[in-house]
Amino acid sequence: MKGVIFNFLENLIVDKFGDKILEEIYAAAHFSLDAPPFVGPETYPDSDLFAMVILLSEKTNLPVDDLVYEFGKYMFPVLADRHPVFLDNVNSPIEFLKSVNDIIHIEVKKLFEGANPPIIKIEDVNHRQVKLYYSSERKLCKLVEGLLDGVADYFGQKISYSHQQCMRDGARECILHIQFYD
Ligand code: HEM
């Protein structure tokens, strides 16, 4: 995973739990490379990111899934702020979600050598409902859920979603059924 994602996680930890916890995590973690510092454009093993989240969970007594969800929700407005071009002239969250796979993550791969974003496909059910297909060997569908709530907040719209199938239960991909409300 790109260093920039590690940096977002570091910011979340400091913002929500304080810099002392981040220092404790660094002291306890057995990172595979000579890091920190994590440098934005560099690539680091996913296992280092997961190790940080597991230590954060141990130190805060919050479940890993909840922390990964919060990470997604925290991360979206930061991504949107850093890359406003991806939100220019985008009028709805559905339109935006449809651009993630074929525009945004394609640009991400050009911008960051070695980036390996997931596959995210959107299929219309009707004008207020879509199915989101997610697949990644990282199985970070809780991150997707947090990002989705971040996107809904950004557009000022209410959403609900449910997992129809999940990679973590052995499915080939996750399918989230998403409902948008006015
Ligand atoms: C401005 C918008 C966005 C930008 C700039 C962006 C950029 C990125 C970047 C840089 C990564 C790291 C890739 C790597 O290190 O290999 C990433 C990963 C990821 N992105 Fe996006 N992203 C955006 C929006 C979204 C949205 C809206 C979703 C889902 C609804 C999403 C889902 C994910 C997931 C789940 C990952 C984690 C990697 C994985 O699951 O394998 N992204 N994105």
- pLDDT the model gives residue 158: 97
> Whole-structure pTM over 0.75, yes or no?
yes
Q: How confident is the model at residue 127 (pLDDT cuts 50, 70, 90)?
A: very high
- pLDDT the model gives residue 4: 95
Index of the ligand 1 atom closest to the CA of residue 140:
40
102-141 in b/e burial notation, b at 16+ Cβ within 10 A? eebbeebeeebeebebbebbbeeeeeeebebbbbbeeebb
Tell how far the Cα of 139 is from the centroid of ligand 1, in angstroms. Answer: 13
Segment 163-172 mean pLDDT: 98
DSSP, collapsed to helix, strand or coil, labels residue 182 as coil
Index of the ligand 1 atom closest to the CA of residue 80:
1
Of all protein residues, the one whose alpha carbon is nearest to atom 43 of ligand 1 is 117
Mean pLDDT of all residues belonging to the chain: 96
DSSP 100: I
Tell how far the Cα of 79 is from the centroid of ligand 1, in angstroms. Answer: 9
Domain ranges in the chain are: 3-62, 96-181
Is residue 99 within 8 Å of 127, Cβ to Cβ?
Answer: no
pLDDT single digits (tens) 79-121: 999 999 999 999 999 999 999 999 999 999 999 999 999 999 9
DSSP, collapsed to helix, strand or coil, labels residue 54 as helix
Report strand pairing: 119-126 vs 158-165.
unpaired
- pLDDT the model gives residue 98: 98
Backbone angles phi, psi at 103, to 5 degrees: -120, -60
- pLDDT the model gives residue 29: 93
Sheet with 158-165: strands ordered across: 119-126, 129-135, 174-181, 158-165
pLDDT single digits (tens) 22-79: 999 999 999 988 889 999 899 999 999 999 999 999 999 999 999 999 999 999 999 9
Of all protein residues, the one whose alpha carbon is nearest to atom 35 of ligand 1 is 144
Exposed (0-12), middle (13-18) or buried (19+): which is 145, by Cβ within 10 Å?
Answer: buried
Q: Looking up tokens 């890091």, which residue turns up?
A: 35
Instruction: List, as one string, the DSSP characters of 61-76.
Output: T--HHHHHHHHHHHHH
Index of the ligand 1 atom closest to the CA of residue 111:
10
Pocket of ligand 1 (CB under 6 A): 1-2, 4-5, 79-80, 83, 86, 97, 100, 104-105, 108, 112, 115-118, 120, 136, 138, 140, 143-144, 147-148, 151
The total of other beta-carbon atoms located within 10 Å of residue 159's CB is 18
Tell me, which fold does domain 96-181 have in CATH? Answer: H-NOX domain (3.90.1520)
Provide the CB-side half-sphere exposure for 127 (13 A, CA): 2
- pLDDT the model gives residue 45: 95
Alpha carbon distance 14, 35 (integer Å): 18
